[in-house]
Amino acid sequence: MAGEPQDDCLFCKIVEGHVPATIVRETESTVAFRDINPQAPVHILVIPKVHYANAAALATAEPTVAADVLREAQAVADEEKLESYRLVFNTGPGAGQTVFHAHAHILGGRGMQWPPG
């Protein structure tokens, strides 16, 4: 489902201000906030305000907002002065997705290995 805030969705609650978060940027269509369990010195999530279960659903249904998420990821990286960073969309439980509201992870401030775990 997309569109209406989902009662059981943590990130919809952050968008609505019902769950606190350290918000670093906000636009008409997106919110960026610090991850509660950072995996790098900089670990920020960018989400669309509208609920989509994952990045694939977002890109199909709202490509303009999907582009907004990518643009905001770069804006966050600029603000955090990250020359290099990793942009991750875990998509599906097998890839480590635990919150089923589309989000981009911006990870930076340390060296990164490839392949990822």
Residues labelled as active-site residues? 103
CA–CA gap between residue 34 and residue 51 (Å, rounded): 19
Query: Applying CB under 5 A, which part among 7-15, 16-24, 64-72, 108-116 lies near Zn ion?
Result: 7-15
- Residue closer to Zn ion (CB basis): 6 or 74: 6
CA–CA gap between residue 2 and residue 54 (Å, rounded): 10
Judged by CB under 6 A, does residue 67 bind ligand 5GP? Answer: no
Among 21, 42, 106, 107, binds ligand 5GP (CB under 6 A): 21
Judged by CB under 5 A, does residue 49 bind Zn ion? Answer: no
Query: Applying CB under 5 A, which part among 4-12, 34-42, 83-91, 108-116 lies near Zn ion?
Result: 4-12
Among 3, 36, 79, 84, binds ligand 5GP (CB under 6 A): 36
Judged by CB under 5 A, does residue 103 bind Zn ion? Answer: no
Judged by CB under 6 A, does residue 37 bind ligand 5GP? Answer: yes
Q: Which of 114, 14, 22 is nearest to 76 (CA)?
A: 22
Give the HSE-up count for residue 37: Cα atoms under 13 Å, Cβ half-sphere: 1
Judged by CB under 6 A, does residue 90 bind ligand 5GP? Answer: yes
Q: Evaluate the omega torsion of the peptide bond into residue 115 and state whether it is cis, within 30 degrees of 0.
A: yes
Cβ atoms of 12 and 5 within 8 Å: the answer is yes
DSSP 8-state assignment for residue 83: S
